[in-house]
Amino acid sequence: MDEPLATSAFIAVLGGTSVLAFAARWFHRRDVLPHLAGWALADRGFGTGVTWFLLGGSIFTAYTFAAVPGLAYGTGALGFFPLAYTVILCPVLFVLLPRLWTAARRTGAVTVADWVRARYDSPALMLVVALTGVLATMPYIALQLLGVRAVLDAGGLYPQGPAGDLALTAVFAVLAGATFRSGLRAPAVISIVKGVLVFGAAFGVVGVALGRLGGFPAVFDGAERELGTGGGLLLDPALHPAFATLALGSALALPMYPHVLTAAFAAAGPDTLRRSAVAMPAWTFVLGLFGLLGIAALAAGVAAPLGNAEVAVPLLIRELLPELASGAVFGALAVGALVPAAVMSVAVAALFTRNVYVEFFHPDATPKHEVRVARWVSLLAKVAALAFVFGLREQDAINLQLLGGIWILQTFPAVVLGLFSGWWHRSALLAGWAAGMVTGTVLAVAGGYTSVVAVGPVLLYVAVVALAVNLAVATALTPGFARGGASRAGVTG
């Protein structure tokens, strides 16, 4: 920390955000008994504005804002696939989230696994949806911390050695304390701060970068020269199928993550979610600005360490902005990690409490007992994420996150198909989930933790291939299970 003004601005942003997080406890009624829907879903009372900030803050994570410009810096056009998938994501959210909210409210579901349990009357299917959500989310929490640590290290704001780890732990401890007490309300308050800071940082830094580098033509010409033969600003036609399936698979997988559904279930109603989804492209636009910064870093000749392209933009920010402004921007990126990490820990806690602990070990638990267990599980989830960060290599967390994206997409049939039809059989869906999980895991690991696999002459996203196997198995087995006389579903969607 050799830049005192930057450090002061960074601490001021984090300090102010922490105060607001703890103030969230004052924004809920105290005359009601504690219950899990109140702690994990804020009594389903968020309006359009808060829902838009919370959904956007949960979906567009700090790691995303570091990884997308890093991909653009390292690979050129291929790095922009997240923009394509977030564009596809908006209509997916518009269609799915209101239906899921209505189904959850009708069945009294707090988690998506609760909805699956009610829809198919299947504890086994509920359990695999819950456990898949937990497994896919845990490395995602750790990745937020890894992204922040890399960004701050490049910005000169992360002390070397144990001091830096203690500082990161202290920041996360503040978040843990606020979430423990107030549940989803704490990240909801922080999400508003995150939105203001991230939007302001994106427009401000892009404006400065374009001014310093000579405008859009100079930026793209300079980036094209720097990429040379290692990449390009136009996508190689051979990569079109990989690009398209990465975008489609990611757009279908993201709404299945527990933290996204937790944020959605906290909305006041289906219309609130529709209005929020319509306005979600604003977040995609800001993500595009961050991607543009990756191209600007190339044009500016920023030299990121080999294999560490995500630090290119922090290095560019440090070079272009005065100390005070750069510290504020790095503070915004750090706050960007707190919102999704907090929502993820709340979602994991709700899944474990409702769909593992209460369902199989303590079915007579009182609402107050459920909340107490969920609070401690949310705390343990954050501790486990810190253990990921300090105990594993960064590449290990990235590999686990890659697998998490493949795994979570395999819950799509069980969660979504029942919203539109009662045809699929619960046992067939369970078999399809197992086939998809095995296929996706084997293909990814055998390829050296790759996102794409060759299917004939084309490259396709592994998760989409696994989902195709999943759906094929579920569709093929449903008639046979149905002839056996067992019910396809428990309640209508």
The pLDDT assigned to 223 comes to 82
pLDDT in tens, 105-129: 999 999 999 999 999 999 999 999 9
Which range (63-67, 70-74, 293-297, 323-327) has the least confidence?
63-67
The pLDDT assigned to 178 comes to 76
pLDDT in tens, 377-424: 998 888 887 777 777 676 777 788 889 999 999 999 999 999 998 889
- More confident of the two residues 352 and 232: 352
The pLDDT assigned to 89 comes to 93
Strand, helix or coil for residue 397: helix
CA 289 – CA 421 distance, rounded (Å): 40
Band the pLDDT of 265: cuts 50, 70, 90.
very high
Which range (39-53, 164-178, 195-209, 307-321) has the least confidence?
164-178
Under 8 Å between Cβ of 146 and 5: no
Give the list of residues 6+ apart from residue 251 with CB closer than 8 angstroms, or none: 85, 86, 88, 89, 92
pTM of the predicted protein model = 0.89
Strand, helix or coil for residue 301: coil
Q: Is the pLDDT of residue 158 over 70?
A: no
Q: Is the pLDDT of residue 31 over 60?
A: no
Give the relative orientation of helices 185-213 and 312-320 as an angle to the nearest 10 degrees: 70
Average pLDDT of span 251-277 = 95
The pLDDT assigned to 1 comes to 46
Under 8 Å between Cβ of 10 and 327: yes
Give the list of residues 6+ apart from residue 438 with CB closer than 8 angstroms, or none: none
Average pLDDT of span 298-309 = 78
- More confident of the two residues 325 and 164: 325
The pLDDT assigned to 493 comes to 43
Which range (26-35, 41-50, 134-143) has the least confidence?
26-35
Comparing CA positions, the residue from 197, 210, 201, 228 lying closest to residue 292 is 210
Beta strands of 70-180 (E only): which ranges?
none
Of all residues in the chain, the percent with pLDDT exceeding 90 is 41
